[in-house]
Amino acid sequence: MKHRHPRLTQALRYGGVVAVLLAVFSLYTRPNFLVTLSNQIWACF
């Protein structure tokens, strides 16, 4: 099956990746999130 709009598909994929990266980076601006995350990781050991 060939895509009719390969550039649109690629642009949507890049847009999705950028949105996910921005969401992850915005979580790192919250110190409480980092403390909670490190405590949860430490609890695994």
Q: Is residue 24 part of a domain?
A: yes
Q: Is residue 1 part of a domain?
A: no
Q: Which domain holds residue 32?
A: 6-43
Structural domains of the chain, count? 1
Q: Is residue 32 part of a domain?
A: yes
How far is Cα 14 from Cα 43, in angstroms, rounded to an integer? 35
How far is Cα 40 from Cα 35, in angstroms, rounded to an integer? 9
The model's pTM = 0.59
Question: Residue 14's pLDDT is what?
Answer: 97
Q: Is residue 22 part of a domain?
A: yes
pLDDT in tens, 1-45: 566 788 999 999 999 999 999 998 888 888 898 899 899 999 998
Burial 2-31 (b: 16+ CB within 10 A, else e): eeeeeeeeeeeeeeeeeeeeeeeeeeeeee
Q: Is residue 19 part of a domain?
A: yes
